[in-house]
Amino acid sequence: MAETPKQMIFPEFQSKYINLVEGDVNQLLAQQKESFAELIEGLSEEKLNYRYAENKWSLREVILHVIDTEQIFNYRFLCGLRGEQKELPGFNQDEFIDKNTSLDHDSEYLLNYFTITRYNSLVLFKALNTQNAKDTVKISGYEMSLAAFPYMVAGHLLYHVNIIKERYL
């Protein structure tokens, strides 16, 4: 991919994720597929239900948030890839967790959900090329170049893995 984070269009609030990515983003995405799967596999029910403070998400909810967000970004990327001109809606991460009906699913469910979602990301992002990398998609009041999506997905997971390691494990 020819684009670098400095050349990509994305909202400032996403820089805390995108700027975490160093090196080849595609290699990182593939490596994360393995390392995050290993992290999930080793989690007990007790750990999945752990909250480091009152009114904070459980570890299960953090993992679901990461996967749901990746699913949403994959959809947005696909819309941009296919030339969608309409502005896509935002989403409220807290409402997504509040409405989640899979909060009783075990680590096997989370592992499968993550692995399938990340595989989908890896396949989708192979469609990036020099012709479409600068194409943009409109999302909830901002614009984002297609080249930024792999960085956002990888950086979002990096951000949350850091939180998981600091506060949950």
pLDDT at 105: 82
Give me the architecture of the 5-168 domain, per CATH: Up-down Bundle (1.20)
pLDDT tens digits along 14-52: 999 999 999 999 999 999 999 999 999 989 999 999 999
pLDDT at 104: 73
Return the HEC string of 54-96.
CCCCCHHHHHHHHHHHHHHHHHHHHHHHCCCCCCECCCCHHHH
| Spatial CA neighbour of 1 closest among 125, 122, 120 | 125
pLDDT at 2: 47
pLDDT tens digits along 96-148: 676 666 667 889 999 999 999 999 999 999 999 999 999 999 999 999 999 99
Token readout for 142 is 């901002």
CB 9 within 8 A of CB 144: yes
Domain residues of the chain, as ranges? Answer: 5-168
When pLDDT is averaged across residues 68-85 and rounded to a whole number, the result is 96
